[in-house]
Structure 1
Amino acid sequence: MAGTLMSSDSDSDLEVLEQLSDWDNEDTDGDEGPSGSRRSYCRIDYTQCLTDAEFTFRFRLNKAAVQLLLSEIMPHVKVTCNRNHGVAPLHQLLLTLRFYALGTMLISVADFVGVSKSTASRIVHDISGAIAILYNKYIVMHPNHVDKFFQYGQFPRVLGAIDCTHIRIQSPNHTIGEEFRNRKGYFSLNVQAVCDADLKFMNVVARWPGSAHDATIFNNSVLRAQCEAGTFGNRWLLADSAYPNRCYMLTPILNPSARNEQKYNDAHIATRNLIERTFGVWKRRFPVISLSMRLSLENIQKVIIATAVLHNICRIHNLQETPAEVQIPFQAMDDDDLQTVGVQDSRDRTELIEAYFSTM
């Protein structure tokens, strides 16, 4: 599908969505006029007043992608007036996307649509949950990129590249807060992900505190059970030295001494670098996950999964990477926290080095 993902009818289609209900013309957030009648709040039709480039910059997706996404989440969006105070589904989605783009205080995006902070919080909760429901549709493990991975580092039989990244959060509370303090001293969730050769997520685990070791997350994952059951055939995950070396997961050699070992490491690094690139594109497009989120743990997990789904939607539709509208701290883009676990099963790795990399 073309990078612009636009058809000649997209604006008119969005206009129809904009007019799906009359809720968008009234905000029942507690304010009433002098006669006791509801105060009307006229919301801006951003699909009409912004060019597609301006729209994409503010909402991280273009108009056609928003149209498609809205149609997919509609079955999961609560549209009763009492729940979200008269905000139409389209504006609920735009408010949430704006929050992902800014990663700022909820009051800022609440003002953007003209609702209270509490209403904005409920909308972000509901819409993030609705988008996260699409996980199984857009984030899928598949063994189809062996040839594409090979083009990056001439590494054979690669299933995917796996790594963890820390997503900053505020301390949840004094009781469990220290569980979320990572080795670098700040509070975070340690999020594990696997990517394919097109920088799309194939697996995301976003429930572990920052103190959790990368290997612990993997060892307790469904992905490990699938790998050990041979679900993906004779293919390898490429991981750094924070992970265990297994017959289905290969890690670098810590101190290469031979030429074929160095070739193995070079190919491994060139291919595994794709997961670092994936994290970078994800965090730049959705700065909310690069800054310290001030939400409940449940909402943070929903935002992480939702933005991962949106990242894949952007990659599937070839949407160009959008520069961050806010400044992202450098450490948020380079937060590798390597904790070596050592080699535990190096037979497959040794055979690969001797049989393949010795002949290169």
Structure 2
Amino acid sequence: CRLPAAGRWCFVAVVPRGNRVYRDRADFFMESDEWLLSRIRLPRHLLMELCNALEPQLRRETRRSNALPVPVQGCSTLGFLATGTFQREIGDRSGIPQPSISRTMPAVLAAIMSLSERYINFPSNNDQQTGIKRDFYAIARFPNVIGAVDCTHVGMKPPSINDYAYINRKSYHSVYVQIICDARMSILNMVARRPGGTHDSFIFQNSNVGHRLHQGALHGQSHLLGEHRTKNLMSATSTALTRRCPAGGTLLYSPEKTCNIILACGVLHNIALANGVPFADLQPVDPMSRDPWPQAPHARALRRREDLIRLF
């Protein structure tokens, strides 16, 4: 080439670009159910059904060759959710680089969360509530229970904004998650958006289910069984508090992404439970002490509890 200002010639060496090298991507559907259950917690047929359900949201139109298939995106994210290991290790198993795992995970989480209306539903009519009451009664002869409610802390890294609000009673940062389940341990409702410093009774009273119950969504003498002290909820006595089982480990993500991970796991839990997938035994942990109640117990809840105690 010629430099216009100096009127001189220079030579530029052009080095041909080498071909891009692509790693072999894993075909998870070729693995055995035992292998998949140990690493992804779902058998092959459920993985295929889930990937088909997620495909409309995860399939991307692109002119690039070798785009990530939906099964690779989905199974890689499920492997992370199931094991909690580092993204680089998941990438090595899937045959894709860690940055690709990081880029695809938010889309996969959003796609799984979009299935929540199909798999997580609080009983809204008398027939649904009657079936749940029957299941609870079969366990301990306790009548009219349509759900059990409690909260648990999921540890997370300190957020960059308002980190003090996420410090819980054991002095670590967490998201405080409220879960309502039926007698079969299926999740009926899940609230995963409150900082760890929030009181559990505040979460319930300001939740969608709390508002619905206040407006009379329960039929007959129906009630929830839990430790909050509010109307339409049967609280435990001081000598019968249940043990908590907080999730182990710490999520190294922002509060928003941490909440999305928790909600996606709730959907996957119900999918697995509905299809008879066996769950690994949970290791017990030390229970977390309770804060004093911010307000006096509701008189109606106390009367209902005493009436039930007299029945036994």
- Do the structures match in fold with TM over 0.5? yes
Distance, in Å, in 1 between the alignment partners of 2:55 and 2:65 is 14
Equivalent residue, structure 2, for 1:172: 159
Q: Where in structure 2 are the equivalents of 1:74-85 lying within 5 Å?
A: 74-81=55-62
- Checking the alignment, whether the CA contact within 8 Å between 1:180 and 1:189 is kept in structure 2 is yes
Correspondence for 1:93 among 74, 80, 102: 74
Distance, in Å, in 2 between the alignment partners of 1:304 and 1:110 is 21
* Unaligned ranges ≥5, structure 2: 1-15, 124-128
Correspondence for 1:118 among 93, 96, 99: 99
Correspondence for 1:138 among 108, 111, 119: 119
Q: CA shift at 1:107, angstroms?
A: 1.8
Aligned to 1:145, what secondary structure does the other structure show?
helix
Name the CA shift for 1:136/1:83 in 2 (closer, same or farther; >3 Å).
Answer: farther
Q: CA shift at 1:358, angstroms?
A: 2.6
Between structures 1 and 2, the one with greater strand share: 2
Q: Where in structure 2 are the equivalents of 1:152-231 lying within 5 Å?
A: 152-173=139-160, 175-231=161-217
Distance, in Å, in 2 between the alignment partners of 1:347 and 1:237 is 13
Equivalent residue, structure 1, for 2:233: 249
Distance, in Å, in 1 between the alignment partners of 2:167 and 2:263 is 21
Distance, in Å, in 2 between the alignment partners of 1:84 and 1:201 is 41
Query: Is 1:293 aligned to residue 251 of structure 2?
Result: yes
CA shift digits 1:213-235 (9 cap, x unpaired):
10111121111110011113231
Name the CA shift for 1:339/1:177 in 2 (closer, same or farther; >3 Å).
Answer: same
Aligned to 1:198, what secondary structure does the other structure show?
coil
Name whichever of 83-92 and 164-173 sits farther off.
83-92
Name the CA shift for 1:113/1:62 in 2 (closer, same or farther; >3 Å).
Answer: same
Q: CA shift at 1:51, angstroms?
A: 1.6
- Checking the alignment, whether the CA contact within 8 Å between 1:172 and 1:297 is kept in structure 2 is yes
Between structures 1 and 2, the one with greater helix share: 1
Equivalent residue, structure 1, for 2:41: 60
Letter paired with 2:297: Q
* Unaligned ranges ≥5, structure 1: 1-33, 256-264, 284-288
Query: Is 1:350 aligned to residue 308 of structure 2?
Result: no
Aligned to 1:193, what secondary structure does the other structure show?
strand
Name the CA shift for 1:351/1:320 in 2 (closer, same or farther; >3 Å).
Answer: closer
What is the root-mean-square deviation in Å for CA atoms of aligned residues? 2.5
CA shift digits 1:202-256 (9 cap, x unpaired):
000000010011011112111111001111323101111xx2232x10112337x
Q: CA shift at 1:100, angstroms?
A: 1.0
- Checking the alignment, whether the CA contact within 8 Å between 2:26 and 2:93 is kept in structure 1 is no
Distance, in Å, in 2 between the alignment partners of 1:222 and 1:230 is 13
Distance, in Å, in 2 between the alignment partners of 1:169 and 1:124 is 17
Distance, in Å, in 1 between the alignment partners of 2:93 and 2:121 is 34
Q: CA shift at 1:351, angstroms?
A: 4.7
Name the CA shift for 1:351/1:140 in 2 (closer, same or farther; >3 Å).
Answer: closer
Name the CA shift for 1:170/1:83 in 2 (closer, same or farther; >3 Å).
Answer: farther
Equivalent residue, structure 1, for 2:53: 72
Q: CA shift at 1:134, angstroms?
A: 0.7
Aligned to 2:251, what secondary structure does the other structure show?
coil
Letter paired with 1:155: F
- Checking the alignment, whether the CA contact within 8 Å between 2:58 and 2:107 is kept in structure 1 is yes
Aligned to 2:18, what secondary structure does the other structure show?
coil
Structure 2 length as normaliser, TM-score? 0.84
Aligned to 1:101, what secondary structure does the other structure show?
helix
Name whichever of 130-139 and 314-323 sits farther off.
314-323
Name the CA shift for 1:344/1:191 in 2 (closer, same or farther; >3 Å).
Answer: same
Name the CA shift for 1:305/1:85 in 2 (closer, same or farther; >3 Å).
Answer: farther
- Checking the alignment, whether the CA contact within 8 Å between 1:194 and 1:201 is kept in structure 2 is yes
- Checking the alignment, whether the CA contact within 8 Å between 1:84 and 1:119 is kept in structure 2 is no
